[in-house]
Structure 1
């Protein structure tokens, strides 16, 4: 048997703040807390379920002393499911995200943003019924 992808770990200064932000973005809940860490997910994993099949990974925010120094080598992509891309970008801005330029150039079908600690992520086409497919959808 192979390994399972169970957690995505994000180094950060303020795990509580980032967990709150990403819970609002993804409609996740906090499922565990400890000294300097917060875990969020769409479900609460059990060993039996993880052994049985690949399940969505949780996201764990870990406090580290150093700051972000360069463009992320790994990032999340999100797709709005109940609104157009422009409306989702506006919602994410209101939650504390910012638009960023990582050299993506104009005319792309996605919007590059950063969470409150500067971690880049992309907002892709909307999956909402009757929405457009581009960043203005």
Structure 2
């Protein structure tokens, strides 16, 4: 028996900001309930886990121990520019610049990577 990733959960302090950013970044549809949380769904027919944005009252304490690795449909550089335009910023977590990924942080400083192709 094995497990599979069904959902990625992210604690957030500004639900509206983060739902707007992540739904635009991933092309997902956001559904906010009355409980202060939101669920993001992939487009119909697209594989991928849902994303649960869970409201919390505290900011992120340090570097993420778990993060998303995104693969761009239209090329890494263009995707990095697009995500920065949505509100991401470049983040330094000790990378050398020779890696096959770019590290960004979302508007609440959660790190994620944009790969230059499929994971190796």
- TM superposition score category, shorter chain reference: 0.7 to 0.9
Q: CA RMSD in A?
A: 2.0
- Kept in 1, the 8 Å contact 2:27–2:43? The answer is no
- SS of 1:101's equivalent? coil
1:39 paired residue number = 39
Match of 1:106 in 2: 97
Distance apart, 1:7 and its partner CA: 2.0
Aligned pairs (5 A) from 1:113-132: 113-126=104-117
Trace 1:1-137 onto structure 2 (pairs within 5 A). Answer: 5-42=5-42, 56-81=48-73, 83-126=74-117
Moved >4 Å (runs of 4+) = 1-4
Structure 1: unaligned runs, 5 residues or longer: 45-54, 128-137
For 1:49, the equivalent position in structure 2 comes to none
1:17 CA displacement: 1.2
Alignment: residue pair count: 116
Structure 2 residues without counterparts, runs of 5 or longer: none
How much has 1:65 moved relative to structure 2? 0.9
TM-score by length of 2: 0.86
